Amino acid sequence: MNGSEFNWSEFFAMGGYAFFVWTSYGIAFLVIVLNIVMPMIGRKKVISRVKRAIRREQLQQ
């Protein structure tokens, strides 16, 4: 592939199927990102929940 000859607008047009192709890839990207971000948020939630439980128990003692 020769970089200077590569036709980007043709590439993005996807032979007239741009909407279908790029929406598919966009949603795939979103699914990947959410799969990474959600467990990261989940980890923070679990830690703060357990911390709160520990504090509650210490107060009760």
Partner 1 sequence: MWNWIQKFSSPKYFYDMSAKLIPWFAIPALVIGVYGLYLGLFVAPTDYQQGESYRIIFIHVPAAWMSLFIYMVMAISAGIGLIWQIRLADVIAAASAPIGASFTFLALVTGSLWGKPMWGTYWVWDARLTSELILLFLYFGYMALQSSIEDQRQADKASGLLAIVGVVNIPIIHYSVEWWNTLHQGATVAKFDKPSMHVDMLIPLLLMALAFQLFYAAVVLVRARNEALYRERNRRWVRELIEKI
**Could you list the residues that contact partner 1 (CB under 8 A)?**
1, 11, 14-17, 20-21, 23-25, 27-28, 31-32, 34-36, 38-40, 42-43, 46-47, 49-51, 53-54
Q: Closest distance between partner 1 and the C-beta of residue 23, in Å?
A: 6
List, in sequence order, every beta strand (DSSP E) within 1-61. Answer: none
Q: Closest distance between partner 1 and the C-beta of residue 34, in Å?
A: 7
The set of residues, in sequence order, having a beta carbon less than 8 Å from that of 20 and lying 6+ positions away, is 14
Q: Closest distance between partner 1 and the C-beta of residue 21, in Å?
A: 5
Give the whole-angstrom CA distance, residue 20 versus residue 35. Answer: 23
